[in-house]
Structure 1
Amino acid sequence: MIFFPYDIFVIWKQYPLQMKISKTFKRAGIVLLTFFAVMSVIIAIALNFIFTPEKITPEVVQIINENIRGKVDCERIELTFFPSFPRFGIRLKNGAVLPPTHSGSGDTLAAFNDAQVILNMYKLLAKNELHINNIRLNRPDIHAMVDSLGNPNWDVLGLVTDTIPADTTESGFSFKKIVLKNLEIQHGNLLYEDGLSKNNYQVHDFNFRVKAVKGDKGLFLNTHNKSDNISMYKDGGKPYQIKNITIISTLFYDRSDRTIHIKESDFSLNDIHFSTKGQIQLYPEQQELSADLETRLVTNSFKNIVELIPPHILHNEKIDTEGKVDLRLTVNGLYGKDHQPRIDASLHIDHASLAYSDFRGKIEDISVRATSVLFPDGAAPSSVTIDHLRVNGTGVHIDASGNIEHLFENAVFDIALKSNIDFTEFHANFPVDENIKAKGNIEADLKTNFKLNDLTGNHYENINLVGNLQFDDVDIDSPKDSLWFRTRQLQTSFFRQKNERSNMAGNVDIRDARLVYKNDLDFTAEEITADLKVDQQGEKKVKLDMTMGLKTLRFTSKSDSLRGIVKKANGEARLFPEEEGKAAYITSRFTIDSAALRQKKDFVAIKQGNYVMRLDKKAPKKWAPKGHVNFHRLIAYSPKMGVPLKMPASRISFENDNITLDHAKFHFGNSDATLTGNIQHLKGFKSGDPVTATLEVDADFIDANQLMQVFSSPPDEVVDVDNMEKIDQEVATDALKGEKHTFKIPDNLRFTLNTNINRLKFGDMDMRNIYGRARIKEGTMKLEDFHLNTLAAQLQADISYSAKTNKEADLDFRLYLSNIEMDQIHRVFPVLDSLFPMTRSFEGKADFRLKGNAKLSEDMDIKIPTLKGIAALKAHDIIVLDGPTFSDLAKTFMFKNKEKNPIKELNMEMTFEESHLEILPALLEIDRYQLAVGGIQNLDMSYDYHISVLKSPVPFKTGVDVKGNFDDYDISLLNKAKYKYYFTDKERLLKKADSLVINRKSDILHQLEFN
């Protein structure tokens, strides 16, 4: 109907009263709108200027904490009205809920970034009751738990214990009642730990909603929970994951008897629905609950079961199925610290079938009848029974049955299996993942019954296993599972020996097999054979015997950079069970034709090894080895070594990671030695833990230059572990050339070496008949009371060597040289060629002793500026060779200059410091002269000597100064004789000598043990 203005005028004339009433409503509306606008302004002013977050946050937190059993902490709280219109609300930022203090948990119950709470302000202000219409948490992290005593950390409102806050609070504000109507959690993460059962649950990215309606007798609850992934695991165990889970439940909580009635609950897993009904009664005082629940599969089509199988294992598109499934689960009994409820489960599938529209294959019969009765607390025996499991179809024939009694105690197994799987036929007739390759045939016919304790306790005489398992040309490759296995033949059979005890026996025969796992572990074998038998001696002593042989076994591990090969091996092993408190042990003997093991660039290879070993059981997965190995030849190499280590026929004994050597011969580069003694804790070479050794070292020749390269930085090497002769040739040709380098001794070595060496090469020195003790400890090597012969002298030495880096080392030394040719002193201690060059001008033998310390350069040369020490020389009947300086001195003193000038006696004391040598006054006699010589010899070959003429044809004493170097020097005559009082028999004159110099000379002789 359409109205025109005239019509409106006529209507107003006919109905004046009604129009007046409409006008009244209009005025009332204006008033209400004005009131609402004013109130909105007032509320806005109140929220933004009066009830600011800074003012209300501490007050609200205090009120909440006084009215709950837990504790709330929050960074910011603000009142809201317009976002939650027409009700007031609270918005919390960066908050946390802590559990009740009696829960024994210090963890946070929940932490959130954002939470919204909508309140009923009327009941809050008028009736002092907290009615929460809705709580919404966004992305919270929740950690709920029940401790080992049954105390929950989540009962912040006292629902379980039924406790209420005290009437008197600090703020004077307490609620008569707390009601929660709706709780929402969006994208939360939950960790639930059950200290009673030791079961843990972790829920990732879940959405949860619960609505609560209070009735006269209790609380009605509607819950809806959806999560992408739930992980379940025992403490320390591997998690089991379930994906795509939804739970919708209608519950009633009866406060009178504290019972939760599950009216209906739908649990769905990948859209497969299960229905649960029953009740749970709480006993907070006893910290227990009683459960009476029943769960069953809602839709019992066999297709539902098929759809549970992951698509990468079995395609579930265009599939036709027949058959029904009956799956039931009941839980009944107490749950608490000392009790767990009984669990009954049953699965029945009768003559189900499976086929694909586009494939010829069909599984014609799938039948399962299985039941279980579980008492997790051990109140009664638990069992699992499979009456039958049958799968018959294209390429697959499986029949199995069995039961397990006393599941949680000493489980008793009774299992039978017959199967024939033709992978080639199955793969050709079913939609197997195109990435999975499978062919070959597996046939099994096995029966067994045994107790678990017999298996773990090695009582194999009580194990009954008979039947056969055979693989023929099997090749299975599943890239998604990172698994590839192939074998031309694998035959295994178990049977009873025909003897008076009828013990179990078996054999294994594997040909051309390969196993690759996770693109890391790779095993190949040309042939593996083994024979097993249980041998019972008497009533108690039972052992398991095994003889085995293999040909060309190779293995690699990419993650460990490990590669090895065994060309041919034969052996036998015996396992003896635990008996009368004696731990189980294994004895074995093996003969290996050749084997090699390589890790990165480290390797060891053995030819014709014979092993005798015993393993004693120390823990469930720990066996301690003990035994010995004899071999015809061994080669080992590491880049840290630089040269190969070779051992001819030797015997090495071992126990755990300790080895004992009995005249074991070693060839290391140019060196060869025989070692006798022991090395303990070999694992320390890898782990850094202490490695100790006490060894007798007998050697024909030691090349010390090469040995020091063990701790330097040699070049990289690439070796072939398959060919031992090739290893020998390649590595030997790349041996180091003998250059000297400093080396850092690892701090974890604790070695004592008693040496007897016929010949040793160090630098340019060729030493012989060496004996003494070497100690290595805390990064320092000490040679104690070492004796040796060089081409020039007999040497007794104490040397201490240490290095913090491979660039510089510290050296402390004491060297006593006897009957050394004076012109050869510099060869034993090359630094003297620069600081004491005059030794080359003498011919004859002397005793020379030296003591001090210095820094060594990277090339093992002494850094002369760092040298500090003392030295002394005693010589008789030596010759001074003619030279320019000596000729000029002879002319100066006018004594007879010959090509060889005899000196009856020469005693000298010296100090080394600050790059120079100081010769303290020394007496020598040449021709008719008695001279005292002293002064400074510098590193740059310059010198400053003084010669005091104490006896000569001239009837007075005089002095001569000689300065310069060997090419340019000055001789100054008629100076004061500085040393005229040092070498006199007259006590009166001797007192005029510098006592400091005399004491220094005497102290040097005392420190160097010169008589």
Structure 2
Amino acid sequence: MKKFLKITGGIVLFILILLMVTPLFFKGKIERLVKEEVNNQVVAKVDWGKFSLSLIKDFPNISVGMSGLSVVGVDKFEDDTLLYLNEFALSADLMSAMGGSLSVEHILLDKPMIHAKVLADSTVNWDIYKATGEIEEVETADAESSDFTIRLKSFEVKDAIITYVDETMDLEAAIHNLHLNLSGDMSAATTNLMLESSIEAVNVSMEKTKYLNQVKVSLVAGILADMTNMVFTFEENDLMVNDLNLGFDGHVGMLDEGYHLDLKLGAKETTFKSLLALVPKEFLTDLEGVQTQGTLTLEATTKGIYKDTDNLPAFDAILKVNNGQIKYPDLPKSINDININVVVNNPGGSPDNTVTNIEKFHFELGQNPFDASLLLKTPVSNARFKGGMVGVIDLGSLKDAIPMDSFDIKGVVDADVTLDGNMEMIEKEDYESVQVNGKMKLDDFEYTSTGLPKVTISEALMTFSPKSIALNKFVCNVGRSDFDLSGKIENYLPYLFKDETIKGSLMHSSHLLDVNEFLEGFEEEQANAAEDTTALELFEVPKNIDFVFTSSFGKIVYDKLTINNTKGKITVKDGRVVLNGMSMKLLDGEMKMAGEYNTQDVKKPFVDFIFDAGNIDITKTANSFSIIDSLMPIAKSSKGQFSADFKYNSLLDREMMPVIASITGGGNLKSKAIEVSNSKVLNNMADLLKKEKYRKMKAEDLDINFIMKDGKIIVEPFTAKVFGSRIEVSGEQGFDQSLNYVVKTPVSRKDIAGAMSFLGGGFSTSGDDVMVDVIVKGTAKDPKLSLDLAEAKKQVGKELEKEAEKVVKDILKDDNVKNAIEGLFGKKKKK
């Protein structure tokens, strides 16, 4: 018995060792073959981190694992990750393979991230499979088809994130935290499958408009699968979209080309409140306490064969709301008599057969009815549209019916507009055949929100015609600022239906524009949102807008600056804001400017301006612009007037700040006289030369040329009259406030006598001034001065040479010296 137990124990131990050791022999080879085969099949870089193979982990099943799987694009999609999988796990009954059918017990995809992208040229990043001719042929031992089958029992996805970006349609969609569990014997001819799935958030936006925002979706469905004919019949199921419960039944059949569909979907709840669950919470808050009335009908069916987007099955959808009402318990008014009837149908075939009919859209607010309708046919070949809206909306009553905690609103909108035509008329610019008529009026509008100036529109009137919208009147105040607009907007129909350029010509005038009010509100808003957002975000100028504003401002207040009588044209076109012929009075002088803010290439936005200023007060300039104080603190210690003309160009970063290294430009600055006193530079000079007179300086006849490049302001050599003498200045100043100037200035001999003491008693303190180079370094706020006496040395050296020559001549005139020399060298005899 003991011998039997020993033998049995030894066999078991041997099997366990074999189970643990065997994968080690094959793991590397299997991993290498898999990686080679995958990379042979695709045009992408496929890699993974850890690969595991075990016969122990899920014994008696074999376990295969993989972590850090990534699929990264090449060429146009270089370094663009199509797929990242945190972990892949597979458990299979290895013994079942001996019977010719491998049973896969479970497949897990943990935290997969999929990023699908369509470029503007319609290239897609998921088209990574090589063409048939590109794939290397693999020799097989048996070319005949195999009877070997694979059965899958369970498939699970955890925490998936899927994003889709389509640049051809300016579409962005994202699915966050997708969970999916599919179970059942997927190898049987006929089987029952169980599908459980949930999505935490679905977001869809097109052309910057959000159509779905943080929508929750879940599905629990039982599916009868006919695996032989590939027909899947939906039985008991629940589809939840937010709190809207939908049920559907029917079947989907997979064909060689396309799918055979026979499905019906309908809302299980027939109350109006269930429809409100689809409305984003930012529009309707606290639905838990909302009181509603009315019934809902929501149904959709599809039947036929779907091949592609040009060959559709028949489908129809109906949305009806009867006698709906929304009433918040804490508010005095309600939205009543809500009646909606929308029908969409297509008999099958081309999507051009689709007819969308909003037969009725009606509600009453504060005893004021509002109605709208729209019929849309042949949307692909030649969209035909007919509809309109008529009614009054009292915005004050809207505030009394829907919670508006963050803002307050008042005013009355009166609209009566009709529309009838087709796209062919618009394409041929046959606007007279398009019937667009009516008006829209806004009276006594008020909008107030925390941290922002109050907005009031006393009156606004727009009248519609097929060719244009006339802005007859628009009188508005934003805080203390006022705006008066009038003009015409053209090409609005092609803009609405074909995304063409909308054009406008508007006259604008303001008595006062107080920019400080806007900045205060903006700073407060940014302070509240500092944890979530950057200080400022780049504003992209739309490329399909062509507006010309002829503007006139009586007064503009910006920071400490007051600007008067501003006039000129502002053009918004092709992604640019162009200022042309702008003139203004400021800082006791005048300035003209022209230029542009350009976002045509949103990755490289830039500004490019030309300025021409005359008789500007330098003290007021320094006290009105913080950037002047930052770059040139000496300006605050200066008095006088200057004129300047210069160019400025720079790229902008994502926060609309200049990219310092990209700044280029330059110009000229002139002034008859500028007086500077008590500046750090002059004080340092006075201390260096030990002369108090240098603490106050008056520079006359200034004519300065400068250029801006490589992050610096480079000043060309210029002369100026200071203390009755001419000085020469040259050097550069960095936008980081660094200084590097040389000032060539005449200095009296007495002022530098101490510095020239190295020459001994031979240096005379009387005579002409000595030229000295004053070296200015450091920063604008902390300048460092030193003297370069090279020129002074040369000048004094020449004086000493002259003095020595004079001394020699005087010595030679002495008779005793002459006789001694003659005796030493011998006197010449006369002939």
Q: 1:389 to 1:615 in 2, by over 3 A?
A: same
- Tell me the CA shift for residue 532 of structure 1: 3.7
Partner residue in 2 for 1:186: 158
Tell me, in whole angstroms, the C-alpha distance in 1 between the residues paired with 2:3 and 2:289.
67
Tell me, in whole angstroms, the C-alpha distance in 1 between the residues paired with 2:129 and 2:190.
17
Partner residue in 1 for 2:540: none
Q: 1:255 to 1:354 in 2, by over 3 A?
A: same
- Tell me the CA shift for residue 502 of structure 1: 11
Partner residue in 1 for 2:577: 623
Contact 2:52 2:66 in 1 (8 A): yes
CA deviation string 1:812-861 (max 9, x = no partner): 5767x7xxxxx93556x7886666797995655x5x77587856577867
TM-score by length of 2: 0.68
Partner residue in 1 for 2:730: 800
Partner residue in 2 for 1:299: 268
- Tell me the CA shift for residue 376 of structure 1: 14
Match of 2:640 among 649, 661, 672: 672
- Residue 569 of structure 2 corresponds to residue 613 of structure 1: yes
- Residue 594 of structure 2 corresponds to residue 654 of structure 1: yes
Q: 1:440 to 1:105 in 2, by over 3 A?
A: closer
Contact 1:664 1:675 in 2 (8 A): yes
Give 1:394-409 correspondences, 5 Å limit.
397-404=369-376
Partner residue in 2 for 1:202: 174
CA deviation string 1:487-544 (max 9, x = no partner): 66643333479xxx99864434556x6xxxxxxxxx42575444445799xxxxx996
| 3-state secondary structure, aligned to 1:301 | coil
| 3-state secondary structure, aligned to 2:276 | helix
- Residue 479 of structure 2 corresponds to residue 524 of structure 1: yes
- Tell me the CA shift for residue 77 of structure 1: 1.8
CA deviation string 1:68-107 (max 9, x = no partner): 86878452424245x646x413052525275999999987
- Tell me the CA shift for residue 653 of structure 1: 4.2
- Tell me the CA shift for residue 393 of structure 1: 6.3
Partner residue in 2 for 1:725: none
Partner residue in 1 for 2:797: 909
| 3-state secondary structure, aligned to 2:287 | coil
Give 1:108-123 correspondences, 5 Å limit.
111-123=84-96
- Residue 412 of structure 2 corresponds to residue 442 of structure 1: yes
**Aligned-partner residue type, residue 748 of structure 2:** Q
Q: 1:425 to 1:465 in 2, by over 3 A?
A: same
Q: 1:252 to 1:546 in 2, by over 3 A?
A: same
Q: 1:278 to 1:94 in 2, by over 3 A?
A: same
Tell me, in whole angstroms, the C-alpha distance in 1 between the residues paired with 2:504 and 2:233.
56
Tell me, in whole angstroms, the C-alpha distance in 2 between the residues paired with 1:675 and 1:324.
73
Match of 1:592 among 525, 532, 553: 553
Contact 2:683 2:694 in 1 (8 A): no
CA deviation string 1:314-368 (max 9, x = no partner): 62447453323133264877666x8575795533315233366968866553221
- Residue 817 of structure 2 corresponds to residue 956 of structure 1: yes
Contact 2:259 2:306 in 1 (8 A): yes
CA deviation string 1:686-729 (max 9, x = no partner): 4433332333x5533123668x88xx9xxxxxxxxxxxxxxxxx
Q: 1:234 to 1:548 in 2, by over 3 A?
A: closer
Q: 1:239 to 1:31 in 2, by over 3 A?
A: farther
Contact 2:73 2:80 in 1 (8 A): no
Larger Rg, first or second structure (1 or 2): 1
Tell me, in whole angstroms, the C-alpha distance in 1 between the residues paired with 2:399 and 2:546.
45
Contact 1:773 1:786 in 2 (8 A): no
Match of 1:308 among 251, 255, 278: 278
Tell me, in whole angstroms, the C-alpha distance in 2 between the residues paired with 1:176 and 1:134.
19
CA deviation string 1:444-493 (max 9, x = no partner): 2220438889999999987834234334475676xxxx898966664333
Identity of aligned residues (%): 11
Contact 2:297 2:320 in 1 (8 A): yes
Match of 1:691 among 664, 667, 677: 664
- Residue 302 of structure 2 corresponds to residue 352 of structure 1: no
Contact 2:297 2:318 in 1 (8 A): yes
Tell me, in whole angstroms, the C-alpha distance in 1 between the residues paired with 2:658 and 2:358.
51
Unaligned runs of 5+ residues in structure 1 are 1-26, 514-522, 537-541, 564-582, 635-645, 713-737, 743-760, 818-822, 874-907, 911-918, 933-947, 959-975, 977-985, 987-1011
Partner residue in 2 for 1:922: 802
Give 1:697-716 correspondences, 5 Å limit.
697-703=669-675
Tell me, in whole angstroms, the C-alpha distance in 1 between the residues paired with 2:613 and 2:116.
66
CA deviation string 1:921-962 (max 9, x = no partner): 43368xxxx416xxxxxxxxxxxxxxx97346472399xxxx
Give 1:70-85 correspondences, 5 Å limit.
73=48, 75-81=50-56, 84=58
CA deviation string 1:553-602 (max 9, x = no partner): 54414586599xxxxxxxxxxxxxxxxxxx9965554433221123xxxx
| 3-state secondary structure, aligned to 1:591 | strand
Q: 1:355 to 1:850 in 2, by over 3 A?
A: closer
Q: 1:808 to 1:626 in 2, by over 3 A?
A: closer
Match of 1:931 among 804, 807, 814: 807
Partner residue in 1 for 2:536: none
Tell me, in whole angstroms, the C-alpha distance in 1 between the residues paired with 2:697 and 2:74.
79
**Aligned-partner residue type, residue 268 of structure 1:** M
**Aligned-partner residue type, residue 444 of structure 1:** D
Q: 1:320 to 1:593 in 2, by over 3 A?
A: closer
Unaligned runs of 5+ residues in structure 2 are 492-501, 526-543, 597-606, 620-637, 687-692, 822-827
| 3-state secondary structure, aligned to 1:168 | coil
Contact 2:664 2:709 in 1 (8 A): no
Partner residue in 2 for 1:1008: none
| 3-state secondary structure, aligned to 1:931 | helix
| 3-state secondary structure, aligned to 1:923 | helix
Tell me, in whole angstroms, the C-alpha distance in 2 between the residues paired with 1:592 and 1:47.
87
Partner residue in 2 for 1:539: none
- Tell me the CA shift for residue 370 of structure 1: 1.9
Which is worse superposed, 404-413 or 661-670? Answer: 404-413
Partner residue in 2 for 1:10: none
| 3-state secondary structure, aligned to 1:681 | strand
Contact 2:717 2:728 in 1 (8 A): yes
Tell me, in whole angstroms, the C-alpha distance in 2 between the residues paired with 1:383 and 1:145.
31
- Tell me the CA shift for residue 245 of structure 1: 1.1
Contact 1:661 1:675 in 2 (8 A): no
Give 1:474-873 correspondences, 5 Å limit.
490-495=458-463, 505-510=470-475, 523-524=478-479, 528-532=483-487, 546-550=506-510, 552-554=512-514, 555-557=517-519, 561=523, 588-598=549-559, 603-607=560-564, 609-613=565-569, 615=571, 617=573, 619=574, 621-631=575-585, 634=586, 646-648=587-589, 650-656=590-596, 664-669=614-619, 670-675=638-643, 677-681=645-649, 686-688=658-660, 689-695=662-668, 697-703=669-675, 739=683, 779=712, 781=714, 784=717, 786=719, 788=721, 790-791=723-724, 795=726, 799-802=729-732, 810=740, 824-825=748-749, 841=764, 843=766, 846=768, 850=771, 863-864=786-787, 867-869=789-791, 871-873=793-795
**Aligned-partner residue type, residue 507 of structure 1:** N
| 3-state secondary structure, aligned to 1:922 | helix
Contact 1:382 1:408 in 2 (8 A): no
CA deviation string 1:183-230 (max 9, x = no partner): 122333344678998866533222212235456879875432212122
- Residue 358 of structure 2 corresponds to residue 386 of structure 1: yes
TM-score by length of 1: 0.58
CA deviation string 1:727-757 (max 9, x = no partner): xxxxxxxxxxx64689xxxxxxxxxxxxxxx
The structure where helix makes up a greater share of residues is 2
Contact 1:378 1:408 in 2 (8 A): no
Tell me, in whole angstroms, the C-alpha distance in 1 between the residues paired with 2:159 and 2:375.
43
Give the number of equivalent residue pairs: 730
Tell me, in whole angstroms, the C-alpha distance in 2 between the residues paired with 1:281 and 1:106.
36
**Aligned-partner residue type, residue 594 of structure 1:** K
Contact 2:216 2:242 in 1 (8 A): yes
CA deviation string 1:215-264 (max 9, x = no partner): 6879875432212122335699868435321234566788888x664545
Contact 1:100 1:153 in 2 (8 A): no
